[in-house]
Amino acid sequence: MSTTTDQEESGQPGTRRDSSSLRVTWLVARRELRLRAKTRVFVITTAIMVIAVALAVALPAILSGKSKQERIGVVGGVTPTVSAIVTEAGRLSGGRAVVVAEPSLAAAKTALRSGDLSAVLVPNSEIFVKQVPLGGVSGTVGTLAQLAGLSRLIETVPGAATAVAHGVSLPVSGLQAPSASLSSRLTGLFTVIIGFILITVYGSQIALGIGEEKSSRVVEVLLSSVRPVQLLIGKVLGIGLLALAQAVAMVVVFVVAGFATGSSLVHGATLGAVLAGGGFVVLGYAFYCTAYAAAGSLVSRQSDVNSTVLPVQLPLIVAYALSFTVIYANGANTFYHVLGFLPPTSPIAMPVLYAAGDVPAWQVVVSAVVCAAGTVWMARLAAKIYANSILRTGPRISFRQAIRESRNA
Amino acid sequence: MASLELEVDGLRRTYGTVTALDGLTFGVPAGQVFGFLGPNGAGKTTAMRAIFGVTALEVGEIRWRGRPVEEAARRTFGYMPEERGLYPAMELADQVEYFARLHGMNGPAAARAAKHWIDRLGLSGREKTRVDALSHGNQQRAQLAVALVHDPELLVLDEPFSGLDPGGIDDLSSILAERAAAGVTVLFSSHQLDLVEDICEAVAIIHHGRLVVSGPVAELRRGDRPRLAVRVTGDRAAAWTVSLGSATGTVDAVRPDGTAEISVTSAAESQVILDLARAAGPVEHFAYEDRRLSEVFRQATGASVGQAEAEHAAAASAAALKTGAGR
């Protein structure tokens, strides 16, 4: 190089060194991508997660297809009234019931024992099941018992059979929209489990990777030509792209497997829950990746990473643990609603609330915007902590110390 | 002397109660192997890290070709830090190539340069070996390859000779000389002053974060007054020197074999000294000698390199006890 005056070296043709900031950041990201994507761990975990999603979608659809129809044995001749009662009982309990004429009570009981029949009805007399469950019968058999009893009561009234055939219950309307179906809730839970795993696993990889750079001292060579913020962004970008690739693969498998098996999961609100969950996984990663990086920069030995990562993970773990109560309870409490809008917990809490039908879509959008704003704030703080701590050797630095110093810097 | 390429100007940096750099100033000319010497704890590493901006300065400026060092300039520098470090799980060739690209080389050029330096440093055949599987000596070579791969205009090496065997020292010094001959400014540090005095053309010697002396090695070793080493047969205490007048020369030291080290006031006085010695007995040895750099240090500071290092170690452990940071 003969020029001694111009150090800027912008990319004019013939310049040997191209030193644009984006290029350096991308080089750092590319190293992470290439090094990690070819490891056996990555390939195997991707395969396991994709298979798990496929099974979770396909199995319920396949299993429910088998048990859709309940067979009710009828002893002593099938009249239109009896047939109507059985069909109605099936319809009212959300399934389908068919009448199977049985020649005798003994034959019917044999079929019941073998599992060929769900129940045996002796009109105007009795209903047999294989075993009465704790808390009494419910579902089709419970409804059948009520309808058959009602039918016996109004037997003497002329035209009752016709009335029964038209249905005996009055329609019930709610003032609010129906609560989310179980399939939507379970999908929400499933999405949150995947999101939690992706954020914590890849977050820990960031912290460990930075701990490695610091403890192996390679960081000093790196920082002699790369700015700390470039190194930080490149790292979370590279690892984040891997996480995103896994997440996208899982969503694609979810949709494809869902449509292929005719699963009810891909209809309506459930698909929305998956998309909301996917969006919040990205937001959650964006929020947490820099925090994990800051945690990694505080240690001198890689083995110390676990202890600095814990405070970062705590909000995630709380939201995750509480999400189970929301999925199984009828409606989330106020506390969990609040978690749904706080950036550290919303990536887990908001998809759960949405899947459980506790919040309208516009609140999901509001929460996402708040989380994005929180991400910017977190990235600034974490970048300062990182830049301050990455070259400091000696004992582990506490978060309080790091935050105090980053304010002064 | 050639014009100064790298100028270190008034650097000051303290760590708590310890002053690492205390107004350090010196300059490095182009195309020379320049030694940055001083006892352990003198502030060499802090100053070198300051060149790369990885340590902050309270006061002072570092200039490269007359302008304050900035990011673009740093990308044309090569650095081997005192605490060596590479990615342990990355393959050698990938690693060297990666650093070449970080310094702005494109893919094919980086691959070519990586191959060149891996071969040049005797690491051929190890391209696909993970760095943590290399021997200690080869890791050192890999580190050097990373510092050299992008054809830097300034090469900064912190204690590059520490831990090398004599063969390794020869290899490295010939590479440094070759780079300097190609016009590269080469700055390396060492606490072993005498070991490297033949390797560098010019030095800056520092102590307590301040410059002690600086200049071409030949001038420093000769000093203001030339040194004569004179030995008279049988006179183990060099008793003959009592008759030496201070106008002629002064005795700096007497070696165990009876050789007197005399600083001569002028070249003409050497014949007076020879006559005195011959009067005392047969003269076995009579020659001009250069001082060792360690002696230059002792004369300038009043303490030997060993004493200075012991003093620093004691101060450092006292400071560590005080802050409880005993690691």
Confidence of residue B177 (pLDDT cuts 50, 70, 90): very high
Please report the residues numbered 146 through 165 in chain B whose beta carbons come closer than 8 angstroms to any beta carbon of chain A.
146-147, 153
Pairing verdict, β A119-122 and A126-128: antiparallel
Nearest residue, CB atoms, B146 vs list A4, A35, A221 = A221
- Predicted local distance difference test score (pLDDT) of residue A94: 67
Residue type, A366: V
Per-residue pLDDT of chain A (409 residues; tens, 9 = 90+): 343 333 333 333 334 455 578 899 999 999 999 988 888 888 898 899 889 888 877 776 666 655 567 888 998 888 888 888 888 888 777 678 888 888 888 888 888 888 888 889 888 788 888 888 776 777 788 888 888 887 777 776 766 666 666 666 666 666 655 566 667 777 788 888 888 998 999 999 999 999 999 888 899 999 988 988 999 999 999 999 998 888 888 888 888 887 887 766 666 557 778 888 888 989 999 999 999 999 999 888 888 888 889 999 999 999 999 988 887 776 778 899 999 999 999 999 998 888 888 888 899 999 999 999 999 999 999 999 998 888 876 677 777 777 777 776 5
Residue in chain A closest to B5 (alpha carbons) equals A4
Q: How many CB pairs under 8 A join A and B?
A: 90
- Report d(CA A391, CA B284) in Å as an integer: 58
Contact across the interface for A212 and B101, Cβ inside 8 Å: no
Higher pLDDT, A55 or B9: B9
pLDDT (mean) for B156-183: 91
Task: Quickly list DSSP for A273-312.
Answer: HHHHHHHHHHHHHHHHHHHHHHHHHT-SSGGGHHHHHHHH
B18 shares contact with chain A (CB less than 8 Å) = no
Contact across the interface for A19 and B49, Cβ inside 8 Å: no
Q: Which residues of B touch A17 (CB under 8 A)?
A: 75-76, 103-105
Which residue in A24, A39, A224 has the most chain B C-beta atoms within 10 A of its own C-beta, making it the best mutation to test that interface?
Answer: A224
Percent of chain B with pLDDT over 70: 97
Instruction: Collect all residues from A whose CB is shorter than 8 A from any CB in B.
Output: 1, 4-5, 7-9, 16-19, 24, 27-28, 31, 35, 212-213, 216-227, 391, 393-395
- Report d(CA A339, CA A359) in Å as an integer: 13
3-state secondary structure of B28: strand
- Predicted local distance difference test score (pLDDT) of residue B91: 93
- Predicted local distance difference test score (pLDDT) of residue B101: 94
B268 shares contact with chain A (CB less than 8 Å) = no
Percent of chain A with pLDDT over 70: 82
Q: Which residues of A touch B83 (CB under 8 A)?
A: 217, 220, 393
Q: How far is A65 from chain B (nearest CA, A)?
A: 51
- Report d(CA A298, CA A314) in Å as an integer: 17
Residue type, B53: G
Q: How far is A252 from chain B (nearest CA, A)?
A: 33
Burial of residue A347, with CB atoms counted within 10 A of its CB: 0-12 exposed, 13-18 middle, 19 or more buried = buried
pLDDT for B216 beyond 80: yes
Which residue in A221, A235, A299, A392 has the most chain B C-beta atoms within 10 A of its own C-beta, making it the best mutation to test that interface?
Answer: A221
Contact across the interface for A394 and B327, Cβ inside 8 Å: yes
3-state secondary structure of B68: strand
pLDDT (mean) for B294-311: 86
Please report the residues numbered 32 through 61 in chain B whose beta carbons come closer than 8 angstroms to any beta carbon of chain A.
49, 52-55
B67 shares contact with chain A (CB less than 8 Å) = yes
Nearest residue, CB atoms, B81 vs list A16, A18, A221 = A221
- Report d(CA A197, CA A388) in Å as an integer: 29
Give the mean pLDDT of chain B. Answer: 89
Asked if residues A187 and A273 have their Cβ atoms less than 8 Å apart, the reply is yes
Nearest residue, CB atoms, B67 vs list A7, A219, A226 = A7
pLDDT for B157 beyond 90: yes
- Report d(CA A81, CA A65) in Å as an integer: 28
Please report the residues numbered 105 through 124 in chain B whose beta carbons come closer than 8 angstroms to any beta carbon of chain A.
105-106, 109
Asked if residues B127 and B97 have their Cβ atoms less than 8 Å apart, the reply is no
Locate the DSSP E strands across A92-216. Answer: 96-102, 119-122, 126-128
B141 shares contact with chain A (CB less than 8 Å) = no
- Report d(CA A261, CA B55) in Å as an integer: 61
B75 shares contact with chain A (CB less than 8 Å) = yes
User: What is the Cα B324 distance to its own chain's centre?
Assistant: 33
Nearest residue, CB atoms, B70 vs list A7, A217, A395 = A7
Asked if residues A327 and A241 have their Cβ atoms less than 8 Å apart, the reply is no
> And the tokens for B116?
């060149």
* Sign of the CA dihedral running A185, A186, A190, A191: negative
Contact across the interface for B102 and A24, Cβ inside 8 Å: yes
Question: Which one, of B224, B211, B221, B266, lies nearest residue B22 by Cα?
Answer: B211
